A and B are shown apart, each in its own frame.
Chain A
Amino acid sequence: MKIDKLDIEIMDLYDVIIIGSGPAGLTAATYTTRANLKTLVIGGRKWGGQLMLTTLVENYPGFPEGIQGPDLMAAMRKQAEHHGAQIIDVDFTRLQLPEQQSSGGQEDADYASDPIKITTDEDKTYSGKTVIIATGADTKWLDVPGEKEKIGRGVSSCAPCDGAFFRNKNVIVVGGGDSAMEEALVMTKYANEVTLIHRRDSFRASEIMQKRVKENPKIKIIFNTEITEILGEMKVEKVKLKTTAVRDSQFAVRKNNEDVRMSPKELGGDELIWQMPIDGIFVAVGHMPNSGMFKGIETDEKGFIKVREHTKTNIDRVFVAGDVHDATYKQAVTAAGFGCMAALEVEKFLMEQ
């Protein structure tokens, strides 16, 4: 009976299991399949990663006119599948490391009889000689009172998804990077007025995106301001804001339905707490790496997986690629590059065994 079980396991043994189906995961899959490695991609119920929540991607090489994020991901998926990758749209739930490693480590671990096991939300377990973690990052929320229960009730992280529900309404976009600029610009297509709120006194977004935002008459910018609470019964109705006055700069305040400019002194101190009626809040303050579910894989204090030699984790045979380890670049093209690197290292590793 034991032999039967072993047979089944060997039949189902993948050379590499890739967890994640964003640019990193799918690029890795294209490379591993082309290297003739039996490849399984645990794509996730929400396959495709962050680009599925965007519109026009203008900085991915090869598309002079830009390409829609979801179209780019569909093309990447098709390419990986074309070369033989098996992609399943289920969520990853558990990674079980080989016994040799968890029990202290033996030299020459036999990866065929002692594979890494990956369990999905359908309670199916797959075995891989190697694993590439490419789970990317998810929206970082503001983490203020009133936010969590209003996600989907006025609080959103995806202007292209939810924008249409805010036709002729007033919305806030929070953040100072490229994604905040994009969300604000997308929202001008639907909303009456878009207020872009950022906690610092300048944006970190690229010049071209900042220029577009600043030139758009529908967008109003408020610097040095944070949302401290989201108010409303069943949906977003109002926000509480804290504006910090830096230096002597004046800032605009809405008073008696008019925009007036006041100095910090006139406002009575270093910071101003005020409220603003609003219909929707689009949060674009960054992303959090999806690393929490990997027990035993080392991360830094922010949750980014610690990477060694560009593609390796602290566990032998477990590789990593993309935004789940990349706190610096976070681009579709860098994620794809990291996916390629991890795939090449997997190939090299398996050749050497």
Chain B
Amino acid sequence: MSVVTLSDSTFEQEVLKSDTPVLVDFWAEWCQPCKMVRPLVHELAEEYGDKIKVTEMDVDANPQVAGQFGVMSIPTIMIFKGGKPESTMIGVQPKETFKNNIDSALAS
């Protein structure tokens, strides 16, 4: 599935009200490590298909949601399930870490 671009105004509908678990990649243009994570996030979107919704959010353009969830370092990847954050991964991580967290969100 393709990666959905979020904004502060679409966050509630796309993430909190989603039926499937949602991965949110908080990033910004000036953030170098974010550029390393983005290809992985896109790979995850391909691999998991419609099992999860993969989204990304530019924190510069959309500071509200990032602030609400205490994002103070990017990249931060959060997985939401049933409208609540299920796991938070801060910084560049091996793909395995993302997969493990997605898998446990899907399993629970």
Contact = CB atoms under 8 A, between A and B. Distances in A.
A121 interface: yes
Interface string A55-69: 000000000000000
Interface stretch (B13-21, B46-54, B89-97): B89-97
B94 A152 contact: no
Contacts of A46: 33, 36, 92
A303 interface: no
A25 interface: no
A70 B34 CA distance: 12
Given A52-B33, A53-B32, A161-B32, A45 B71 contact: no
Contacts of B44: none
At the interface, is chain B mostly helix, strand, loop or mixed?
Answer: loop
B70 A153 contact: yes
Given A152-B90, A161-B32, A164-B28, A45 B95 contact: yes
Nearest to A162: B73
A89 B72 contact: no
Contacts of B95: 45, 121-122
B74 A162 contact: yes
Contact of B70 (A151, A156, A234): A234
Contacts of B92: 45-46
A92 to B, nearest CB: 11
A280 interface: yes
Given A151-B90, A152-B91, A161-B31, A45 B36 contact: yes
A154 interface: yes
Given A47-B36, A53-B32, A121-B96, A164 B73 contact: no
B32 A70 contact: yes
Cβ-closest 9 pairs across A and B: A152-B90, A152-B73, A46-B92, A165-B72, A162-B73, A70-B32, A121-B94, A52-B32, A91-B94
17 contacts: A45-B92, A46-B92, A47-B36, A52-B33, A53-B33, A89-B36, A89-B39, A91-B94, A122-B95, A151-B73, A151-B90, A151-B91, A153-B72, A158-B33, A161-B74, A162-B73, A166-B72
Interface of A: 45-48, 52-53, 70, 89, 91, 121-122, 151-154, 156, 158, 160-162, 164-166, 234-235, 280
Given A151-B91, A235-B70, 12 more contacts: A45-B92, A52-B32, A70-B32, A89-B36, A91-B94, A151-B90, A152-B72, A152-B73, A156-B73, A161-B73, A161-B74, A165-B73
